[in-house]
Homo-oligomer: A and B are copies of this chain.
Amino acid sequence: MPTQLETAMDTIIRTFYRYSSKEGDRFKLSKGELKLLLQQELTEFSCQKDPQLVDKIMQDLDANKDNKMDFNEFLVMVAALTVACNDYFVEQLKEKGK
């Protein structure tokens, strides 16, 4: 029986492939697939309003410049968002003086 942490890691992998396999190379996210993933899976991140968001993310994270996002590039994005969430979480804790 996988633990919560193992399930979380598995979810990150499965979410990637749920979108990357929609069209073209199923081991990579196209811009369209990335946009859909952001809209449907990262709804909490209000910066969604920025129409240039997908281009900016692709530009920053598309290490091999093939205009697609492979799993490792995707994981860098998820990790960066998780760090941002953690920073916010710690800030809240410290403000509450916990």
List of B residues within 8 angstroms of A43 by Cβ: 2-3, 6
Tell me the complex Cα distance, A93–B45, Å: 32
Copies of this chain, how many? 2
Q: Using an 8 Å CB-CB cutoff, how does the interface string of A55-95 with B read, 1 for contact, 0 for none?
A: 00000000000000001100110110111011001100000
Task: Determine the chain B residues whose CB is within 8 A of the CB of A40 once the complex forms.
Answer: 3
Interface size class of A (residues with CB under 8 A): 20 to 34
Identity of the chain B residue whose Cβ is nearest the Cβ of A80 in the assembled complex: B75
Query: Chain B: which residue is nearest A9 at the CB level?
Result: B82
Between-chain CB contacts (< 8 Å), 18 pairs: A3-B41, A3-B44, A4-B15, A4-B41, A5-B15, A7-B8, A8-B8, A8-B11, A9-B81, A9-B85, A12-B82, A71-B83, A71-B86, A71-B90, A72-B83, A75-B79, A75-B86, A79-B79
Binding site for B on A (CB under 8 A): 2-13, 15-16, 27, 40-44, 71-72, 75-76, 78-79, 81-83, 85-86, 89-90
